Amino acid sequence: MSGLNLVLLGPPGSGKGTQGERLQEDLRLPYYATGDILRAAVRDETELGRTAKEYMDRGDLVPDDVIVGAIGERLALPEAADGFILDGFPRTVPQAEALAAALSALGKGLTTVLLVDVDDGEVMKRLGGRRTCAENGHVFHIEFNPPQQDGVCDVDGSTLIVRDDDKPDVIGRRLDQYHEKTEPLIAFYDHQSLLRRVDGSAAPEEVATEIHRMLATLKLEGDEAL
């Protein structure tokens, strides 16, 4: 689908990254996940990474101005001209307002915002058992999506690690931040008739099928409006 400007919204561990990776392959659109962008910056010890690290380690959101700059420059890239998938951005109302302004300056708007929703108990189970590939961020779960060989990434053979912010006390803080600062975006986008809800508690394949069904409906509605 071309011209699809998509946001994946949802609590930590709801499966945004899992679904985002699939969508990126299926739709062949650039995929901008702010968590991945920030972790790469921390690893490369850039100025962005040095600023973000202390917030991420605590489970806090990084300041809006820091993240808005990092995403704004990507949306203006030629590769994003025919659509993009945003994962983990926006995460606050000021970020959503900045995104709307940046897109408007490019003569664009969002097509839809997909809320991948799960409850807090499911988040604790998912993040507690997540294992992440140290090299390229591929994601597994010791129970729900185990790698073929313990501790080794199926895709590139690198070591699987527990993310620093997947420790139980930090997960709790991330959930608090989600409820306080990100959840208001549900009403924000609902009010603009952009929000679509997906039950993220189903198996990954079922969630993916539901997302594709929604996107097909959207495309149909778009075609009919022409």
Please list the active-site residues.
16, 91, 130, 163, 174
Q: In which element (H, E) is residue 196 found?
A: strand 195-199
- Residue ranges in 72-131 that form contacts with ligand AP5 under rule CB under 6 A: 88-89, 91, 95, 126, 130
CB of 222 to ligand AP5, least distance (A): 27
CB of 220 to ligand AP5, least distance (A): 26
Is 5 or 95 the residue whose CB approaches ligand AP5 more closely? 95
| Exposure letters 25-49 (e unless 16+ CB within 10 A, then b) | eebebbbbbbbbbbbebbeeeeebb
- Sorted by sequence, the CB contacts under 8 Å of residue 27 that are 6+ apart come out as 1, 4, 83, 85
SS3 200: coil
The answer to whether residues 192 and 104 touch, using CB atoms and an 8 Å cutoff, is no
- Residue ranges in 2-41 that form contacts with ligand AP5 under rule CB under 6 A: 10, 12-18, 34-35, 38
Give yes or no for a cis peptide into 204 (omega within 30° of 0): no
CB of 187 to ligand AP5, least distance (A): 18
Is 55 or 82 the residue whose CB approaches ligand AP5 more closely? 55
Is 31 or 140 the residue whose CB approaches ligand AP5 more closely? 140
Rounded distance between C-alpha atoms, residue 46 and residue 38, angstroms: 10
Piece of the chain touching ligand AP5 by CB under 6 A; list 102-110, 134-142, 151-159, 216-224:
134-142
Is 130 or 196 the residue whose CB approaches ligand AP5 more closely? 130
